[in-house]
Amino acid sequence: MQNVIFGIVTGSILAVATLGFALVRQTENFLNIAHAQMMALGAFIGVVLVDTYGMNIFLAGAITVVGLGALGVVLSAVFFQPVRHQGGTVLLFTSIGLALMMYAAILALFGTQARFYPDVSGSLYRFAGINIATNELVIIGLAFGSIAALQLFLNGTGLGRAVRAVASNDDLARVRGVPVRTVSNTIWFISSAFGAMAGVMLGVLGAVNTEIGWHNILIVLAAAVLGGLRSITGVILAGLLLGIMMDVSALFIPTSYRPVVAFGVLVAVLILRPEGILSIQRRKDAVVA
Amino acid sequence: MKRVLVALLAVGLVAAAACSGDTEEEGPVKMGFLNGQSGDYGPWGGWALAAAEVAVEELNAAGGVLGRDVELIVEDNGSTPEGAVSGFAELTEVDGIHALGGIESDGMVAIFETVHELQIPTICSTCGTTELDNTGGDMVFRIIPSDTDNGIVGAQVARDEGYRSVAMLVELSEGTESPANVFKAVFTEQMGGTITEDVRFNAGETTYAAQVAQAFESNPDAVYIAAGFETGVPLLNEWQRRGYTDIPMIFTTDLLSPEIAQIVGSVDGASAIVGATAYDTENNPAWDAYVPRFAEKNDGDPPEIAFYDAWQYDQYIILGLAMAKAGTTDGAAVAAAIPDIANPPGVEVFSYADGLAQLDAGNDIDYHGTTSNLNLNSVGNLLSPVMAVISVQDGDWAVRENIELDPTLVKPS
């Protein structure tokens, strides 16, 4: 059971990171590899604010998330909008190029030395033979709070509905007068902010090093494919499922095979349910339509 | 015509290569320093570089090597094999180094073959890998104990502390698995100890919660941790977070950093010990001369326990003396001279200047460094390492006692 708790913590971070990744995939129609470097940047900026400037972790996290959300909008305007009309392949390679540039910038700005958030574990709560630290509860709460807020935004606001319209059919939305540029900026802001938040969470639990983005992008991709790139619920479930499977697998197989579990699941899903774990629902939707 | 052009091009390339070879006996003597200034070995990087600079300054103060200035060329390998390969290529192809020092286990294994192909005399000052136990002595020499020794001394410490069962947390890398495998074999096969869990993990995981729980929840007398610094900090944060702090820990030398000592020292009653190599500081003129010069360079005394710094100094003094004895910077000749410099017979010397004077007088020399007598066996390994039990005391590492390796414990087959 303890490992399930570990998995929920891991899965919560994975769900936040993957949601940002899937949003861009769903609306801009390409795999944004640079998303991983936004996570790394978030981890580094957060640790600098906390460790170097002595800032409160929550304030530092908020500044990092908002700041990198804005940076995401700028980067999309500079790198992606000019080549958007050339299609997904060009956008994919642009994102790879941007990821490499961001990685180089991280090396130049922060150096190659690992950094660590000061211990912000807080109390350890024990019940029914399991334990969970305050910071893990905060991570789970923040992750699900953010995801719930995103759901509310998408379902309960005009801009949110516009985002869903663009995600559903870009051309139709444009014809119907949806402000596509505004929607695009909103998506980039949310996506980058979620990436930055995941980065800070990763840093709080582990170490902040320059490879943190590269280490996590494939797992994020696995969660996105597993969840089905078009379903928020699917992404959340996939993140949790992968996190729990990776951490529970430690009880049965050597933990060095942890990533193999994630990709084993990914391969199985690609073979059995190429549209993700919520594909049955999607088929029903298709029949109704 | 095309063939003529190709032939001319080939001749040109050969001529260029020959010209570059001609410059080897001119200009400064170039000592490469390929070291993890960042990454897992980063915490020791500053001390390591300062020690190397002290050595090169000593060489130049004594008139240089073969009458030529000595230049230290630094490459950060990022504490990774990939960084070592690219750094070594830069040092050899661009900088044209004559000798190499500073490298760690993973990097040494990665460039081992190339070092021999290019005939670059190399002293391994921070690599304990068991891969070098039987393969050195021609071009590669090691002046620190092997991980075989480190693994044996770790098991010896565990036995002497009265631990009968141990859980293992081992990062998957050459430098950490190497001593851990020896520890496991000696502890179980020669001491009858039990391994309650052997948890191997990759660096760069999101968290280590599951791995730490698996090891500490297995009811061991102690937990043996072999990990790099970047992994060690989150591991220990997890250890602290979960309240496993009453279970003693045995570390490998990779975790001998001040930051790690601070984490352990911040917890009341926590215990961490390392069976590791130590410096030969008693009545050692080489050490006595080194300390103030290092202090001046580093703005502080060298660490009292072995933090990979003084070996960096010793290696360049050996290389300088070997070049002086060989009368050339030719790689094969220098490598052949290294055992002659480090081993008896010869007049015992404790500095480059003294060694040079004895060589000029036509005498053989036996260089005794800051860290030990540096005597090497037939495969270029340190013959008699100085070992110690090191523990966290008041938030810092401190030598608890010097120990001899138990001769009844042998290298596992």
pLDDT at B275 over 60: yes
- For B230, how many CA atoms within 13 A lie in the half-sphere containing its CB? 26
What pLDDT is recorded for position A280? 45
Residues 6+ apart with CB under 8 A from A136: A5, A9, A205
Number of A to B CB contacts under 8 A, please give it. Answer: 89
Looking at chain B, the domain(s) classified CATH 3.40.50.2300 span 28-147+282-367, 148-278+387-403
B222-239 average pLDDT score? 91
CB contact under 8 A, A121 and B42: no
Closest Cα of chain B to A242: distance in Å?
13
Give yes or no for A120 touching B (CB within 8 A): no
pLDDT (tens digit per residue) in B110-124: 999 999 999 999 999
Class of domain A2-288: mainly alpha
In angstroms, the CA B11 to CA B140 distance is: 33
Provide the percentage of residues in chain B whose pLDDT is more than 70. 93
Token duo for residue B143: 């002046």
Q: Residue holding tokens 């992750």?
A: A143
CA-closest candidate to residue A25, choices A139, A167, A134? A167
For residue B302, the one-letter residue type is P
Average pLDDT score over chain A: 86
pLDDT (tens digit per residue) in B32-48: 999 998 877 877 888 89
A252-269 average pLDDT score? 79
pLDDT (tens digit per residue) in A31-73: 899 999 999 999 999 999 999 999 999 999 999 999 999 999 9
CATH of domain B28-147+282-367: 3.40.50.2300
CB contact under 8 A, B231 and A207: yes
CB contact under 8 A, B38 and A111: yes
Average pLDDT score over chain B: 88
Architecture of domain B148-278+387-403: 3-Layer(aba) Sandwich (3.40)
pLDDT at B192 over 50: yes
What pLDDT is recorded for position A71? 96
Give yes or no for A259 touching B (CB within 8 A): yes
Residues of chain A found within 8 Å of residue B172, distances taken between Cβ atoms: 256
For residue A159, the one-letter residue type is L
Token duo for residue A13: 């971070």
Is-contact A16 A139, C-beta < 8 A? no
The helix (H) or strand (E) run that includes residue B401 is: strand B396-403
Of the given ranges (A10-24, A215-229, B144-158, B353-367), which has the lowest mean pLDDT?
A: A215-229
CB contact under 8 A, A114 and B172: no
A168-184 average pLDDT score? 81
pLDDT at B278 over 60: yes
Is-contact A232 A129, C-beta < 8 A? no
Residues 6+ apart with CB under 8 A from B115: B88, B100, B122, B139, B140
CB contact under 8 A, B39 and A256: no
Of the given ranges (A51-60, A161-170, B150-159), which has the lowest mean pLDDT?
A: A161-170
Q: Residue holding tokens 């992968």?
A: A242
Angle at B145 between CA B143 and CA B147, to 5 degrees: 130
| Pairing verdict, β B387-393 and B272-277 | antiparallel
Q: How confident is the model at residue A230 (pLDDT cuts 50, 70, 90)?
A: low
DSSP one-letter string for B244-297: -TTS-EEE-GGG-SHHHHHHHHTSTT--EEEEEE----TT-HHHHHHHHHHHHH
ipTM attached to this prediction: 0.76
